[in-house]
Amino acid sequence: MNIDNIKSVYLIGVGGIGMSGLARYFHKLGCVVSGYDKTESELTKQLEAEGISVIYQDDIVLIPQVFEEADEETLVIYTPAVPKELRIKNYFVDKGHQLYKRSQVLGLISASRFTIAIAGTHGKTTTSTMIAHVLKHSGYDCSAFLGGISTNYESNVLFGENNTVVVEADEYDRSFLTLHPNIAVVTSADADHLDIYGDESHVVESFSLFLGRVVEGGTRIVKVGLPFESELTYSGKEAGDVYAENIVVKDGEFYFDYVHANGRIDAIHLGIPGIHNVENAVAAITIARLLQIADTAIVDALSAFKGVKRRFEFIVKKQDAVYIDDYAHHPEELRAFLSSMRKLYPERKLTVVFQPHLYSRTRDFVDGFAEVLAMADELLLMEIYPARELPIPGVTSSWLAEKIKLENKRVLSPQQVLEVISEEKPELVVTVGAGDIDRLVKPLKEIMNAG
């Protein structure tokens, strides 16, 4: 398929963060864009406001007539998360359309562009957004497909005038093996998505195959300690080919030095907090310098970087009350996030509201979750968000809570969480999780601001 010939695009699962990015991309190119999603969300409302038609019923009558005929000008994209029995999906199959996954479409786009692809079981969203921001802010420019909403640009897709594209490379379902990167980054390769991969060795194998897709003459940049061959290694806390030194917090802001083979850049101010985000910034700086962007322009861009929605996002920041929301849903993500919270606010009592994501992930990493959640002073645990899964007998939030060596812990409904925060008025609150816990953000913001 030739992407340049496409005139009509239908997206099944259009409300997903990655799928909505493609919807916006093709809409920007002037295509007729429509889609289906199971539930209405803030993101789907935004798509509709931008002129993209979205339906929420699995009813083929609601599909616009322009998509009836299968031809070279019509593209149908689906997410693997949709059920096989979905009538809308089967309608397109029966009509003779070839259905493409989001990853396959990104592969088609990347094949004709200078592609910077960022992969990792965690860290990829912030790192890819940071890289895209540095390229935009410095004047180098790029297009970008991101796995989160950039706070600087209020979007998950950016449009550039040059031939460079930044892509968040998703390991789920081995999606990133369709890409053709000129520069590839691997931020992490922890065991995850074991419902897909089976065990950690297959996760590692998949990332190795991803790095193997780097085009001839390209560059692989890999975090120190990962078992992959690369042209460059990087780290936020230990020596690599490039790394961070002298990480300090001044007045709630993070500063660090960047060390490379030919010298260093001192006292870089990072616009967002977090030790793990310093490490992400090391990768971003390294790519920008490969593209010969001036050090001063890189430093300016990082200082102006405002982060990604739901990644260490300050919702309330007052003298007596702080509330931060984060997407962390894997033990190592939680460890990085909570460690940064401790460094940022060492004297404050930390109240953590956590919603586990997936029964299988909770089961597979229960000991890791139990260990890292014990870093809280008080834990408010919500029920497991099932996403695409059916319940697994015995795998519940109460079962997880029993394993956590923490005195102040409770399993609560969303409404009970709001009541506890309203009554107890904690000074430092974080909500973490990848499910629908984000629905608590607005009411919690109101409670924290009123308190």
Q: Which residues pair with 12 in a beta bridge?
A: 36, 78
DSSP 8-state secondary structure symbol assigned to residue 357: B
Locate the domains of the chain by residue range: 3-101, 113-303, 313-450
Q: Which residues pair with 77 in a beta bridge?
A: 11, 100
User: In the structure encoding, which two tokens stand for residue 140, read together?
Assistant: 């180098």
Measured CA to CA in angstroms, residue 285 lies from 100, 188, 294 at distances of 34, 18, 10
Which amino acid is present at 260?
H
Domain over 113-303 is classified CATH 3.40.1190.10: yes
| Cβ contact 60:88 at 8 Å | yes
Q: Which CATH homologous superfamily contains domain 3-101?
A: NAD(P)-binding Rossmann-like Domain (3.40.50.720)
Q: Which CATH class is domain 313-450?
A: alpha beta
CA 234 to chain centre: 20
Please give the model's pTM, rounded to 2 decimal places: 0.81
3-state class (DSSP) for residue 116:
strand
3-state class (DSSP) for residue 237:
coil
63: left (phi over 0), alpha (psi -120 to 50) or beta: beta
Say how far apart CA 61 and CA 65 lie, in whole Å: 9
Rounded to 10°, the helix 17-28/42-49 angle is 10
User: In the structure encoding, which two tokens stand for residue 195, read together?
Assistant: 């419902």
pLDDT tens track, the chain, 451 positions: 788 889 999 999 999 888 999 999 999 989 999 999 999 998 999 999 999 999 999 999 999 999 988 999 999 999 887 888 999 999 999 999 999 998 889 998 898 899 999 999 888 999 999 999 999 999 999 999 998 889 999 988 999 999 999 999 887 677 889 899 999 999 988 766 555 656 677 788 889 999 999 999 999 999 999 999 999 999 998 889 999 999 999 988 999 999 999 999 999 999 999 899 999 999 999 999 999 999 999 999 999 999 998 888 999 999 999 999 999 999 988 998 999 899 899 999 999 999 999 999 999 999 999 999 999 999 999 999 998 789 999 999 999 999 999 999 999 999 999 999 999 999 999 999 999 999 999 999 999 998 6
Q: Which residues neighbour 224 within 8 Å (Cβ) at sequence distance 6 or greater?
A: 233, 234, 235, 238, 239, 240, 243
Closest CA to 449 of 320, 349, 362: 320
Q: Which residues pair with 352 in a beta bridge?
A: 379, 430
Residues 255-279 as b or e (16 or more Cβ within 10 Å = b): bbebbbeeeebeebebbbbbbbbbb
226: left (phi over 0), alpha (psi -120 to 50) or beta: beta
CA dihedral sign of residues 368, 371, 377, 380: positive
Closest CA to 180 of 99, 114, 101, 102: 114
Residues 412-429 as b or e (16 or more Cβ within 10 Å = b): bebeebbebbeeeebbbb
Closest CA to 226 of 199, 205, 246: 205
